[in-house]
Amino acid sequence: MVTAPASVPYERYSPEPAHWWLARVLSDLGKQSGLGADDVDGLCVSSFTLFPDTAAGLTQHFGLTPRWLDHVPTGGASGVITLRRAARAVQSGDASVVACISGDTNHVDSFRAMLTTFSRFSQDASYPYGSGGPNGSFSLMTSRYMDAYGVKREDFGKLCVAQRDNALKYPHAMMKKPLTLDEYMSARLIADPIVLYDCVMPCAGAEAYLVMREEDARAQNLPYAHILSTVERHNSYPDDPVQIRGGWALDKDEFWSMAGISPGDVDLLQTYDDYPVISAMQMEDLGFCEKGSVSEFIQSNTFTYDGTFPHNTSGGQLSVGQAGAAGGFLGLVEAIRQLTGGAEQNAVPDAQYAAVSGFGIINFDRGLCSGAAILGRT
Amino acid sequence: MTDALKRPPKKDPQKRTNSPTLPPYARSRKAIAFTLAAAEGRFALQVCAECEHVTYPAREVCPKCWSMELEWRDIPDGGKLISETTLRTSVNSYFRERMPWRIGTIQLDAGPTVLAHIHGDVGEFERVRMIARTDKSGQGVMLALPEKETPNMADDRQLRALTCNPKYRRALVTDGRTELGQRMVKALADAGATRIFVGIAEKWRPYEGSEALEAIPGVEIMPLDITDTISVNELAAEMGDKADILINTAEYVRPGSVMQRHGVTLARDEMETNYFGLMRLIQAFGPGMKARGADGDNSACAWVNLLSVYSLSNWPVYGTTSASQAAALSLSQCLRGEFAGSGVKVINVLFGPLEESWRQPLPPPKVTPQRLADTVIHALTQGIENVTLGPVAEDVVRRYKEDPFVLERELTQINQGM
Amino acid sequence: MNETNALQALAGALTSGSIVTVDLTHTLDPDFPVIVLPPEFGQCARFRVEEVSRYDERGPAWYWRNFTCSEHTGTHFDAPIHWISGKDLPDAAVDSIPADAFVRPVCVIDCSQESADDEDFLLTPEFIVAWEQTHGVIPEGSWVLMRTDWSKRSGAEYLNMRDDGAHTPGPTGDAVKLLVEERKIIGFGTETVGTDAGQATHLSPPYPAHYLLHGAGKYGLQCLANLDELPPTGAILVCPPLKIKNGSGSPLRVLALVDRSAA
């Protein structure tokens, strides 16, 4: 039901507009699947920097005549949520083949410009206080989370180091220099307690995949994965003074019962990782460990592609780079690759089930959108 | 604890003066009401008129009951610091130049949690007292202060950036001939201003209090007649680069309505001082102050206009003076627009009848010159831009905020002293 | 000598320098003192000047300014219509005064020592008569100037204001009567800010110079300078005010022609 994972190699800065990056990933999707404009009858787009266009304008630009169209503005949760929307469209017969594409450009200074106008609440109530962007909000969350649950910097460091190890085996990762825990522990502070290696590097890039019926994938000879379960939630726990849990905690029972498996069955987890604190939170709130025990969980597992708990096997955004909304697709596209034989050096052996989760839109002091999906190998 | 501010050294003539950079200024229209409250020194958030829920950031609708009736009300300023960070990088030039910068999450007693700047004397997880002030971009922000006064508290760099503290600054008082001018000078000296330039027009006319004025530490008497363009320009050429604070104490007040005026000569004199005088000062001193908004610890920081509250709405008993004051108020709004982006605040003090000779027949309650001077110092040290002083002014402003057209009717109905 | 010959002689004397021109005028300066009246009265406007352009975007090749002032700012001329006593006289405004009044012989009564000794010095008929014993009787139709050297004062010393008003010299009512009624002068001038003494409001009549001079159709000059460069008699005063319609007075340039041998 989900197929053709495509990733365009990222660039730190690009003079090209978002349109170029989306076009490029669509082109790659076509080459990979053998499908063209006449075959694709659904389009779902996620991008922050496409202004003044939306998905609608892109149909003409890309020569598509889809009978189903969506534009998903949920940032880091857009991979999972796009999947959810596209799968429902295919399931209900509104579309046969949905191209889910995401991408953003990164001009010099465009990150600052995007922070400035990211959202009304951040413009009114967060950006004026030091303009740290998500660094500021996440450092306040991280600080509170560490205090609440006894999480240590070493725990975050272990996740970051493992992701860098994974990135060394993933060809498109921007970060190619090995990272040690010592380097992490002595890294430059960005916003206490967040250090340089806790932060992603904004860059330009694009990610995409196709959603279609199983028989159509087979007819096209495309390797594919099943969608077992998806959930999404927005503005969860609005009365928590500082965010130390996410929407997954509200939805996890339904999530696992829909999938028909338990957390122990999962072979790899792709979390949304713009900061390691949010990866740790996802591990807890999706039920991979008890709330409050993530420090112990991290210390008793290894997180490389060949470890006891393979996590962000391409290196995640922390090591691949954050290409705007494509950051929300990165883990999902990597999970499809892992389950369809597309992963190479970083392949998780015998991977049957992958969990993917997303988290997005730091509107003021917290992320609003959360989602998760379970994919299974056929 | 905050280190005491040191007196800034004399300017190094080989060093370039920093251009003012700004914290982010974009705000939604709803949030401008927060900026207004901050400019008035009030800590106000939206409160739902139907369910009393206090909400933040500024919204269009109550998130609890979906009522559209969200009112900006003063709310309790207590809270607790529940999470903090020290930013060490920023994409914004203003903060980048001032790193590291401490911010935190405050759980307000009134309900919401907010992001705020933090005074250096606030300890981890301590209780705080919140203030809202306009920042260098002219927009409202919050600062968490220690709950109790601390030594050198006003010298904290985050607080000083939001205020116009006269300590170690140099001020120009445009008219020192009056009791008001002289009280203003003394109050500035007491507040720690290092040099106070005092404008005296027509030195060939003696004035009361001149000896005591000249004896105030830091005072330098300068020839200045704001009705004379040449005089204003000459003074600006002489000391305009040292005007960190400008307080326009010159005023021209005469009782009388338009029909009582008999010609325009007096009205023209009113305009020469109250309107054109202000314009001359702005043209001569404004550009220099605007360029010095980020000039270190004694940067240019405030332009203070003292205006009759009848600048808001004409009181025919002082009809033509009210008109000239209205013109001055309008000009001060233009100045606020021109100073936007410079970090220099325009402080407007609207006062009720002043205890001075041209308002002598008016009944109490009146504002003494001492009170007005003290109020200006308070506005400067607190960084408050809109000040209303005295029961009469408070009454007029309250009515003005309720409905300026009803106020106009009230001030012009029969038996309003005409 | 016929008239043509007199003018030719004057022309020759001017070009040869045997007759010199003395400027009796203060510079029009925004900070030059003007008379100060009780504040509830209308006030004399100060001299003010505003640029119209100065080789800039307002006028690229030219410099010019607008100035504003009172009819009684700086060195100025008082017409009879200035005072209530002269309000109904014919030809009493600056535009209707016969032009011959503006070029006349001038007598200078030196009161400089007396004024230095007493800032409220009053010029009396006796003082005038004593002066005449030395310099001859004041000719009919002359200007009479009271020299006090007050023009050498500056700043607060000039108006010499105290809590009870200004303290500057001037004439008594009887002195003015003598000049107007018996000597039939054409006008009276001073170095101080007015033709009257600083405390003249307490004389009888109040402000006698203004009241009596203008009531009799005579003229006034004030804020004069350089009177010490004039001889007691024999000089010619040139003092044409601006021709302002119905004007009560006017700032002006006041000149004196002086025989160098007498100066």
pLDDT in tens, A7-18: 888 999 999 999
- Domain-ending residue, one of B140, B161, B182: B161
The Cα–Cα gap between C94 and C84 comes to 15
Q: What is the arithmetic mean of pLDDT over B179-205?
A: 97
Buried b (16+ CB within 10 A) or exposed e, B96-111: bebeebbbbbbbbebb
**Positive or negative torsion for Cα A114, A120, A125, A128:** positive
Instruction: Return the ∠ at Cα C102 (arms to C99 and C103), rounded to 5°.
Output: 110
Are residues A209 and A6 in contact, defined by beta-carbon separation less than 8 angstroms? yes
Of A124, A129, A136, the CB nearest to B58: A124
Q: What is the arithmetic mean of pLDDT over C74-103?
A: 97
Are residues A205 and A9 in contact, defined by beta-carbon separation less than 8 angstroms? yes
Residues B52 and B137 in one domain: yes
Residues B149 and B193 in one domain: no
**B18 lies in some domain:** no
Is the pLDDT score of C154 beyond 60? yes
In this complex, is the C-beta atom of A93 within 8 Å of any C-beta atom belonging to chain B?
no
Record: contact B223-C31, CB cut-off 8 A? yes
**Inter-CA distances, B350 with B306, B332, B367, B369, Å:** 6, 12, 11, 13
The Cα–Cα gap between A33 and A39 comes to 10
In this complex, is the C-beta atom of A192 within 8 Å of any C-beta atom belonging to chain B?
yes
For residue B131, what pLDDT band results from cuts at 50, 70 and 90? very high
Percentage of chain B surpassing pLDDT 90?
93
Nearest to C237 by CA among C102, C80, C141: C102
**B132 lies in some domain:** yes
Domains, in order of start, for chain C = 16-43+71-259 (3.50.30.50)
The Cα–Cα gap between B415 and C14 comes to 71
Residues B182 and B155 in one domain: no
pLDDT in tens, B356-398: 999 999 999 999 999 999 999 999 999 999 999 999 999 999 9
Average confidence score pLDDT of chain B: 95
Residues B152 and B180 in one domain: no
Percentage of chain B surpassing pLDDT 70?
99
The reported pLDDT for the residue numbered B17 is 86
* CA of residue A8 relative to chain centroid, distance: 15
The reported pLDDT for the residue numbered A134 is 85
The reported pLDDT for the residue numbered C238 is 98
pLDDT in tens, B8-30: 988 888 989 888 899 999 999 99
Record: contact A192-B104, CB cut-off 8 A? no
Of B206, B230, B266, the CB nearest to C42: B266
Nearest to B245 by CA among B201, B296, B285, B204: B285
Is C135 tagged catalytic?
Answer: no
The reported pLDDT for the residue numbered B417 is 60
For residue B59, what pLDDT band results from cuts at 50, 70 and 90? very high
The domain that holds B174 is classified in CATH as 3.40.50.720
Nearest to B23 by CA among A261, A115, C139, C262: A115
In this complex, is the C-beta atom of B204 within 8 Å of any C-beta atom belonging to chain C?
yes
Q: What ipTM does this complex have?
A: 0.90
Our count of domains for chain B comes to 2
Question: Best of A124, A139, A188 to disrupt the B interface by mutation (most B CBs within 10 Å)?
Answer: A124
Residues B94 and B231 in one domain: no
- Domain-ending residue, one of B161, B185, B212: B161
Residues B281 and B388 in one domain: yes
In this complex, is the C-beta atom of B126 within 8 Å of any C-beta atom belonging to chain C?
no
DSSP state, A49?
A: S
**B15 lies in some domain:** no
Nearest to B74 by CA among B20, B50, B38, B23: B38
Residues B283 and B371 in one domain: yes
Residues B119 and B174 in one domain: no
Chains B, C: CB contacts within 8 A come to 42
pLDDT in tens, C117-151: 999 999 999 999 999 999 999 999 999 999 999 99
List, in sequence order, every beta strand (DSSP E) within chain C: 19-23, 48-56, 59-68, 76-78, 103-110, 122-123, 143-147, 161-162, 165-166, 170-171, 187-190, 219-222, 235-238, 249-251, 255-259
Write down the H helix ranges in chain A: 18-33, 55-61, 78-92, 110-116, 120-125, 134-149, 153-167, 181-185, 214-219, 248-259, 276-285, 294-299, 316-320, 327-339
The Cα of A64 is separated from the nearest Cα of chain B by a number of Å equal to 37
Buried b (16+ CB within 10 A) or exposed e, C96-132: ebeeebbebbbbbbbbbeebeeebebbbebebbeebe
Record: contact B83-A365, CB cut-off 8 A? no
Nearest to A307 by CA among A189, A159, A178: A159
**B332 lies in some domain:** yes
Q: SS3 of A327, please?
A: helix
Q: Flag whether the pTM goes above 0.80.
A: yes
Is the pLDDT score of B415 beyond 90? no
The reported pLDDT for the residue numbered B418 is 56
The reported pLDDT for the residue numbered A133 is 78
Percentage of chain A surpassing pLDDT 70?
99
Residues of C in contact with B222 (CB under 8 A): none
Strand-pairing partners, residue C129, are none
**B194 lies in some domain:** yes
In this complex, is the C-beta atom of B231 within 8 Å of any C-beta atom belonging to chain C?
yes
Chain position carrying tokens 């320009």: B233
The reported pLDDT for the residue numbered C141 is 97
Average confidence score pLDDT of chain C: 96
Is the pLDDT score of C113 beyond 90? yes
Residues B143 and B70 in one domain: yes
Residues B225 and B365 in one domain: yes
Tokens of A285: 């709130």
Record: contact C161-B205, CB cut-off 8 A? yes
Is the pLDDT score of C73 beyond 90? yes
The reported pLDDT for the residue numbered C131 is 98
The Cα–Cα gap between C36 and C46 comes to 11
The Cα of A133 is separated from the nearest Cα of chain B by a number of Å equal to 8
Per-residue pLDDT of chain A (378 residues; tens, 9 = 90+): 678 788 888 999 999 999 999 999 999 999 999 999 999 999 999 999 999 999 999 999 999 999 999 999 999 999 999 999 999 999 999 999 999 999 999 998 877 777 777 889 999 999 999 876 789 999 999 999 999 999 999 999 999 999 999 999 999 999 999 999 999 999 999 999 999 999 999 999 999 999 999 999 999 999 999 999 999 999 999 999 999 999 999 999 999 999 999 999 999 999 999 999 999 999 999 999 999 999 999 999 999 999 999 999 999 999 999 999 999 999 999 999 999 999 999 999 999 999 999 999 998 899 999 999 999 998
Residues of A in contact with B56 (CB under 8 A): 125
Residues of A in contact with B83 (CB under 8 A): 140-141, 143-144, 147, 242
Other residues' Cβ atoms within 10 Å of the Cβ of residue A347? 18
Are residues B367 and B389 in contact, defined by beta-carbon separation less than 8 angstroms? yes
The reported pLDDT for the residue numbered C70 is 97
**B2 lies in some domain:** no
**B324 lies in some domain:** yes
Residues of C in contact with B205 (CB under 8 A): 33, 36, 156, 159, 161
Q: What is the arithmetic mean of pLDDT over B212-227?
A: 97
Record: contact B105-A241, CB cut-off 8 A? yes
The Cα of B203 is separated from the nearest Cα of chain C by a number of Å equal to 6
Residues of A in contact with B82 (CB under 8 A): 144, 241-242
In this complex, is the C-beta atom of B206 within 8 Å of any C-beta atom belonging to chain C?
yes
- Domain-ending residue, one of B161, B191, B208: B161
**B4 lies in some domain:** no
Beta strand B245-248 with B386-389 is unpaired
For residue C2, what pLDDT band results from cuts at 50, 70 and 90? low
Residues B133 and B264 in one domain: no
**Inter-CA distances, A156 with A185, C59, C99, Å:** 10, 70, 102
Residues B196 and B151 in one domain: no
Are residues A315 and A358 in contact, defined by beta-carbon separation less than 8 angstroms? no
Domains, in order of start, for chain A = 2-108+204-223 (3.40.47.10), 130-200+227-377 (3.40.47.10)
Record: contact A130-B103, CB cut-off 8 A? yes
Record: contact B91-A192, CB cut-off 8 A? no
The parent domain of residue B213 ranges over 170-412
